[in-house]
Amino acid sequence: MGTRAAATSLDQLRELPVIKRGGTQTKFHPYKLNYVLAQLVPAEADRQAVRQALVVHYRTATAIETRELRPALIQILQDLDLTTAAKAYQDYFIAEQARFSAATNVRDRIEQLFSRDANVVHENANKDSNVFNTQRDLEAGAASRAIGLKMLPDLVAKAHLRGDIHWHDLDYSPVTPETNCCLIDFDGMFKNGYKIGNAEVASPRSIQTATAQMAQIIANVASLQYGGCSANRVDQLLAPFAAINYQKHLADAEKWVVAAQREAYAQTKTKKDIYDAMQALEYEINTLYSSQGQTPFTTVNFGLGTSWIEREIQTAILKIRIKGLGKEQRTAIFPKLIFTVKRGLNLDPTDPNYDIKSLAIACATKRMYPDLLMYDKIKALTGSFKTPMGCRSFLQGWRDENGVEVNSGRMNLGVVTVNLPRIALSAHGDQTLFWEIFEERMATCHQALAYRIERTKEAQPENAPLLYMYGAFGKRLQPGESVDALFKNERATISLGYIGIYEVCTTFFGPDWEQDAAALAFAEKVVKALRDKCQQWAQASGYHYSLYSTPAESLTDTFCRDDILKFGRVPDVTDKEYYTNSFHYDVRKHPTPFDKLTLEERFPKYASGGFIHYCEYPNLTQNPKALEAVWDWAYDHVGYLGTNTAIDQCFECGFKGEFKSTARGFVCPQCGNHDPKTCDVVKRTCGYLGNPQQRPMVHGRHVEITSRQKNMSPEMIKNAARYERTKQSDAQRMVSGGAK
Amino acid sequence: MPKEWLAEELSEQYVADYKAFNFVDGEGVRCSLYLSGCPFRCPGCYNVAAQNFHYGQPYTAELEQQIIDDLSQDYVQGLTLLGGEPFLNTQVGIRICERVRQEFGQTKDIWSWSGYTWDELQQDSTDKLKMLSLIDILVDGRFLKDQMDLSLQFRGSANQRIIDVPQSLARHEVVIWDKLVR
């Protein structure tokens, strides 16, 4: 890359406005030309000559037209006898144009899909493409991506293709103006009834009917939006319907049971009803298929209720999860369970619901879920208590026109994620340049998000009747009314995502910066700057832009892969072949949970639109006290905490614990079994859990790679490494929810 | 044979390892001190290096202070003494146990793993009995490879027991820890 002195000469061009091909006007950024020159011209003296020639070329100009810049640069290269560079630059430009036109060509994309082009298949490897409905989704997705790229503002589409930013869910949005994720207003729907298809559904009269309706609603909502959907406070939500069961049983008892035992009878029967209803919900959600050909990304929150019925519902949820799914008692992947911890309610042994917290700890040691919401911290960080929408995206505290706090029925409109490590790599250790590029990238993100809002507003209520007309989004619109009524005045959120704080700081402070006060201050400054942008955009528009620590399921891989192409294998940044998610601690290190959370807890106050912390543990089924020690400590430090522990099971030999990770996936350390039919491997790389061993396509690739391993040529080793990378991204996508 | 091995003859007062804030050496989050030297040499031992009495580093006042500081964190349940053979390093073991009692009273617990069985310890030297009296939980007995079972709570082989020391001393018989899962 060019030296400081060299950049100064190009700095003379900063006075000139830059007119883009689409007519938009931006600033001149010398770092971009320096990057191009570093790629094209080996000798610094030659590069300096090009810079000077360029400055001379624009000496009398009043603007730089990008349309004109490329031929000018080629001419200069040729004049200086740098013909190889001139040709390479021309070829690169042609290749870029071809790439863009291929990406936006529907026929190409579909043909790639039908020929099972490796890239397209991998892009969707979270879905079992043997299934008809998934095939259809892949076909439609391929077309939607191509069309969507053409619909997006030109700069946004190109920034997405280049890997500067990521427009999430391109297989759906912007072609279909879907929202991303939401808290479904079950309460309003149950009270007022709703309509799905041709069926008018009345208010449920038992807890079994209520949970059956929940499953139907979730299935429908999941098909009408992209990301996760959540049920807030389900114990409190469902209690009134279980109370109807109780009254019915009590009425029966008056006929058939002696007076002294009537209440006990009704209570016992109601408890059984609650258990059955919650078990049915667990199975129904796990057997659903949304229009995306996936199990809906569903999150169930509970834990604040104190009545006997609410306590019973909480207990049932945990007992059912501990028991496991099916004959083999596999770990359920959905719904994601989130238990609320609250001081005075269930945190301490003297609290009335402490017994349920103990059960939650036992459940987490066996099934990883429930994750935890710390009541007081969530209120402090986000302005009100509520569960995240899907795996981590949080609404912000909000009151309606009557001053009433509203959470359920609100939603997130979408996410665009910025590739922060790329900004840092482009800055080459120069913080001033980092902030210059940061500003430029933020302008692109803003344009992308503003477009997403506008596009989402174009939906008609009748496009998604359950969401807009029958109460899932909390208000009931008439056909033709503007859906904006549900979004504006900061009722909805729209999110700026980010990834790679670890890598950003590594480029400036080296790989072990976690104890360096200057590095920590810089990390915090970056996240705060992102938040400040969101606040500015919100104030200017009336829509709530929130900062979202992106789940980064696929981005952790794809952004890094893009940057390996652009910058090569930079130690501890790109050479790891993944980027560290959001503000998370370097996963290669071994901090204690307390050290990890201490580092991370400084960020969610800025990234209050989406955050989660995890800690990694050995198998803790026999030491729940250790997990409780972390939970209790964390209560005053973080808002949202997940447990990652070794809960793999082998049904061949009975082993329970951590499967060994190998090139072909995961194997039982005791008997070597790796057949997904007879083992249960559960991992989390983001907010949701997944079964990385269970997907047929990946498993087939495992077998292929395994058979290759015996006589490895260098080419095969490269293939294996590439395969490892895809497998990682697949695993992450697999467990993805919310924005993809 | 009782009193065949004595700390005063064998111990170099060396520490094989110290692991603060770990999740596997007993109940809750613990700080573990691995004392060097063990003549039992069980086949299949998971920590062969620590069988040498000269392995690791000498025990120091600085390390002791570090242990006390770490234990003072709210989330730490207690101290664990392992080895090697802690009961053949009683100079260090008794010193740190007494310091823990002095600093924390009974608010932090002390666990220890020993190759000696409870009954063997009862007939052994006074220093071993003194250290035992300072401990809350003893996991006793040699590791026996043919009884190895990875699913056992806090133990490697089925012959080993998790013993509630104060209760056992009071009743003059082995009382198993009341929170034993398996």
Find the mean pLDDT for residues A46-65: 92
Cα gap A165→A259, rounded to integer Å? 69
pLDDT at A26 over 90: no
Q: Which position among A1, A189, A368, A389 bears the catalytic label?
A: A389
pLDDT at A270 over 60: yes
If you measure CA to CA, which chain B residue comes closest to A627? B28
Find the mean pLDDT for residues A253-278: 97
Find the mean pLDDT for residues A633-641: 98
Task: Kindly write down the DSSP assignment for every residue of B58-113, as one continuous string.
Answer: E--HHHHHHHHHHHTSTTEEEEEEEES-GGG-HHHHHHHHHHHHHHHTTSSEEEEE
Query: A252 Cβ partners below 8 Å, 6+ apart?
Result: A266
Note whether A629 contacts B28, CB cutoff 8 Å: yes
What residues in B contact A592, CB-CB < 8 Å? 20-21
**A687 in active site:** yes
Q: Count the neighbouring beta carbons within 10 Å of the beta carbon of residue A21.
A: 11
User: Which of A439, A469, A338 lies closest to A394, judged by CA?
Assistant: A338
So what's the pLDDT on residue A54? 93
Find the mean pLDDT for residues A696-715: 31
Find the mean pLDDT for residues A337-356: 98
Provide the token pair at A106.
Answer: 């529907």
Task: Kindly write down the DSSP assignment for every residue of A172-194, as one continuous string.
Answer: TTTTS----EEE--HHHHHHH-E
pLDDT at A294 over 50: yes
The model's pTM:
0.90
If you measure CA to CA, which chain A residue comes closest to B74? A633
Query: Which of A8-12, A510-514, B104-108 has the least mean pLDDT?
Result: A8-12
CA A657, A663, A664, A667: dihedral to nearest 10 degrees?
Answer: -20
Banded pLDDT at A684 (limits 50, 70, 90):
confident
End-to-end CA distance of chain A: 34
* A444 in Cβ contact with A159 (< 8 Å): yes
User: Which of A505, A685, A507 lies closest to A583, judged by CA?
Assistant: A505
Banded pLDDT at A666 (limits 50, 70, 90):
confident
Q: Beta partners for A613?
A: A641
- As to burial, measured by CB atoms within 10 angstroms (0-12 exposed, 13-18 middle, 19+ buried), residue A686 is buried
- As to burial, measured by CB atoms within 10 angstroms (0-12 exposed, 13-18 middle, 19+ buried), residue B84 is buried
pLDDT at A278 over 50: yes
pLDDT in tens, B40-58: 999 988 788 889 999 999 9
pLDDT at A311 over 70: yes
Note whether B29 contacts A630, CB cutoff 8 Å: yes
Provide the token pair at B182.
Answer: 């398996």
Q: Are strands B161-164 and B137-140 parallel, antiparallel or unpaired?
A: antiparallel
Angle value at C-alpha A220, between A216 and A225, nearest 5 degrees: 145
Note whether A629 contacts B75, CB cutoff 8 Å: yes
Residue entry with tokens 């073991």: B93
Banded pLDDT at A682 (limits 50, 70, 90):
confident
Find the mean pLDDT for residues A342-349: 98
**A445 in active site:** no
CA A110, A111, A113, A114: dihedral to nearest 10 degrees?
Answer: 120
Give CA separation, A347 vs A319, A373, A376, A540, A635, in Å.
19, 12, 12, 42, 9
Greatest extent of chain A over all pairs of C-alpha atoms, in Å: 106
Q: Are strands A660-662 and A656-657 parallel, antiparallel or unpaired?
A: unpaired
pLDDT in tens, A179-205: 999 999 999 999 999 998 888 999 999
**SS3 string of A370-410?**
CEEEEHHHHHHHHCCCCCCECCCECCCCCECCCCCECCCCC
Greatest extent of chain B over all pairs of C-alpha atoms, in Å: 42
Element (H, E) at A308: helix A308-323
Compute the count of residue pairs across chains A and B with CB atoms less than 8 Å apart: 48
Give CA separation, A710 vs A180, A595, A713, B78, in Å.
45, 42, 10, 49
Find the mean pLDDT for residues A353-369: 97
So what's the pLDDT on residue B52? 94
User: Which of B110, B115, B108 lies closest to B73, judged by CA?
Assistant: B108
Give CA separation, A351 vs A339, A345, A363, A631, in Å.
16, 5, 19, 15
* A150 in Cβ contact with A158 (< 8 Å): no
So what's the pLDDT on residue A444? 97
Banded pLDDT at A699 (limits 50, 70, 90):
very low
What residues in A contact B153, CB-CB < 8 Å? 622-623
Q: Which position among A548, A578, A640, A723 bears the catalytic label?
A: A548
Residue entry with tokens 């912000």: A396
User: Which of A279, A292, A290 lies closest to A332, judged by CA?
Assistant: A279
* A557 in Cβ contact with A578 (< 8 Å): yes
E strand segments, A307-375: 336-341, 371-374
Provide the token pair at B42.
Answer: 């069980």
pLDDT at A738 over 60: no
Find the mean pLDDT for residues A234-252: 98
**A391 in active site:** yes
**A545 in active site:** no
User: Which of A425, A421, A420, A424 lies closest to A38, judged by CA?
Assistant: A425
Note whether A592 contacts B27, CB cutoff 8 Å: no
| SS3 at position B157 | strand
* A197 in Cβ contact with A223 (< 8 Å): no
Cα gap A322→A318, rounded to integer Å? 6
Cα gap B76→B68, rounded to integer Å? 11
Query: Which of A131-145, A334-348, A361-375, B100-114 has the least mean pLDDT?
Result: A131-145
pLDDT at A43 over 70: yes
Q: Which of residues A26 and A608 earns the better pLDDT score?
A: A608
Give CA separation, A79 vs A71, A74, A480, in Å.
12, 9, 62
Cα gap B99→B96, rounded to integer Å? 5
Q: Which position among A282, A440, A553, A600 bears the catalytic label?
A: A553
* A461 in Cβ contact with A481 (< 8 Å): yes
Per-residue exposure over A362-391, b if at least 16 CB sit within 10 Å of its own CB, e if not: bbbbbbbbbbbbbbbbbeebbbebbbbbbb
pLDDT at A6 over 80: no
Probe site for chain A from B25, B75, B162 (most A CB atoms < 10 A): B75
Cα gap A215→A210, rounded to integer Å? 9
Find the mean pLDDT for residues A272-282: 98
Q: Which of residues B86 and B19 earns the better pLDDT score?
A: B86
So what's the pLDDT on residue A116? 67
So what's the pLDDT on residue B75? 95
Cα gap A364→A341, rounded to integer Å? 14
> Chain B: which residues have CB within 8 Å of chain A?
20-21, 23-24, 26-30, 73-77, 150-151, 153-154, 181-182
So what's the pLDDT on residue A739? 39
Cα gap A422→A482, rounded to integer Å? 39
Averaged pLDDT score across all residues of chain A: 88
So what's the pLDDT on residue A702? 31
**A412 in active site:** yes
So what's the pLDDT on residue A168? 94
Sign of CA dihedral B85, B89, B90, B93: negative
Cα gap A11→A17, rounded to integer Å? 13
So what's the pLDDT on residue A402? 95
pLDDT in tens, A90-146: 999 999 899 899 899 988 888 887 776 555 554 444 556 677 887 888 889 889 999
Cα gap A180→A386, rounded to integer Å? 17
pLDDT at B32 over 90: yes
So what's the pLDDT on residue A720? 39
What residues in B contact A623, CB-CB < 8 Å? 23-24, 26-28, 153-154
Query: Which of A361-375, A470-484, A681-695, B124-138 has the least mean pLDDT?
Result: A681-695
User: Which of A686, A682, A707 lies closest to A694, judged by CA?
Assistant: A682
Residue B55 corresponds to which amino acid? Answer: Y
* A187 in Cβ contact with A407 (< 8 Å): no
Angle value at C-alpha A584, between A581 and A587, nearest 5 degrees: 85
So what's the pLDDT on residue A706? 31
Q: Count the neighbouring beta carbons within 10 Å of the beta carbon of residue A110.
A: 17
Distance from CA of B28 to the nearest CA of A (A): 4
pLDDT at A715 over 50: no
Task: Kindly write down the DSSP assignment for every residue of A627-676, as one continuous string.
Answer: HHHHHHHHTTT-SEEEEE---EEETTT--EEPPEEETTEEE-TTT----G
* A689 in Cβ contact with A338 (< 8 Å): no
User: Which of A727, A733, A732, A728 lies closest to A705, judged by CA?
Assistant: A727
Query: A654 Cβ partners below 8 Å, 6+ apart?
Result: none
- Write the Ramachandran bin of A500: left for phi over 0, alpha for psi from -120 to 50, otherwise beta: left
User: Which of A704, A10, A644 lies closest to A726, judged by CA?
Assistant: A704
So what's the pLDDT on residue B1? 79
Cα gap A124→A117, rounded to integer Å? 11
pLDDT in tens, B112-169: 999 999 999 999 999 999 999 999 999 999 999 899 887 789 998 999 999 999 999 9
So what's the pLDDT on residue A128? 61
- As to burial, measured by CB atoms within 10 angstroms (0-12 exposed, 13-18 middle, 19+ buried), residue B180 is middle
pLDDT at A408 over 90: yes
Distance from CA of A376 to the nearest CA of B (A): 20
So what's the pLDDT on residue A600? 97
